[in-house]
Amino acid sequence: MGSSRLPFIAAQEDMFPKFVALIQVKNGTPIVGLSTMGTLATFWVWPIDIGGLIKYVGFLSWAWWGMCFFAVPLLRYTMPGHPRTFKVFLPVTGFAIMASLYLTIGQFVASPVPCLGWLAVVAAGVPIYYGFVDPDNTCRTWMAWLLSKLSKLLKAEL
């Protein structure tokens, strides 16, 4: 259910088609987001086994959650006067950081090659974000240069 919020928010931020941000009125559920994630998961699992998808989602989810957990004490000490909706007891975040480290490092040690592949897929999204989605157009010229070189290499037209 939590993963359905990702395409929902992406659609609100114009990174996905707008219809993905539709909410079911009675329950307030992002039903199109749920359907999108279900369809994508089915597409990803179709040629392989479900275990690969579970490992992929578990590894990357715990890596991102660990970074979010780490941000709590970091922001508390670097921005102490900043207003917060609520405060989390720091030992709870410490436990969450340790758990996420254990789960990500353990998965990486158990099977490093797939984890490196998953990290490469995530890293491939960085230039795509800065080239096409970034509202400040930080790397628009760099991405245009890269696309022109790639189109010349592939002998393709944009």
Rounded alpha-carbon distances, angstroms, from residue 29 to 10, 106, 142: 15, 34, 39
Burial of 9 (0-12, 13-18, 19+ CB in 10 A): middle
Q: Give pLDDT tens digits for 60-88.
A: 888 889 999 999 999 999 998 888 888 88
* Tokens (6 digits) for 129: 């974000």
| Distance, CA of 21 to CA of 13 (rounded, Å) | 9
pLDDT category of residue 158 using cuts at 50, 70 and 90: very low
Total Cβ atoms within 10 A of residue 89: 8
Predicted structure pTM score: 0.57
Judged against a pLDDT cut of 70, whether residue 105 lies above it is answered with yes
Q: Mean pLDDT score of the chain, rounded to an integer?
A: 78
